[in-house]
Amino acid sequence: MEAAVGVLNRACARAPSWSELRWPPAYDPAADDPAGDEPTSGRPVRVTRSAHDPALAAVAAIAEEAVALFAGPDRRLLRACRAPGCVLYFVRNHPRREWCSDGCGNRARVARHYQRHHGGG
């Protein structure tokens, strides 16, 4: 685990980045539509910038999110997908959630159905 944490920390440190606020010239906060969350709605947006290679910046951003997940309260909700053959993990945001995606859930249900109806043993 110590080696994995070291890799994660080095990835975070490789591409320092910062946030910029992009404020559209014609934006009027008083006329803002709360339902207009589309990126093209003309609202201010947060842009992450980096002075380094874009690939390193992407790896660093992913590493930063991993640090936030593992150090935050959601780490208790991290689960392994229960679908046969899946190696992914997910944040369990609903008590009945067992799979990382709808696709894995469907594959697991199909496998269970096959076992019941074809006497797989």
- Split at pLDDT 50, 70, 90, the class of 12 is confident
Question: Which H helix or E strand runs over 24?
Answer: none
According to the 3-state scheme, what is the secondary structure of 39-54?
Answer: CCCCCCEEEEEECCCH
The SS3 call for residue 92 is: coil
Cα–Cα distances (Å) from 83 to 7, 37, 79, 87, in that order, read 28, 34, 12, 9
Comparing 93 with 40, which gets the higher pLDDT? 93
The chain-wide mean pLDDT, for the chain, equals 85
Res 101 pLDDT > 90: yes
- pLDDT of the residue at 41: 61
Res 16 pLDDT > 70: yes
Return the minimum-mean-pLDDT range out of 24-33, 61-70, 79-88: 24-33
Read off the pTM: 0.62
- pLDDT of the residue at 26: 79
Distance CA 111, CA 88 (A): 18
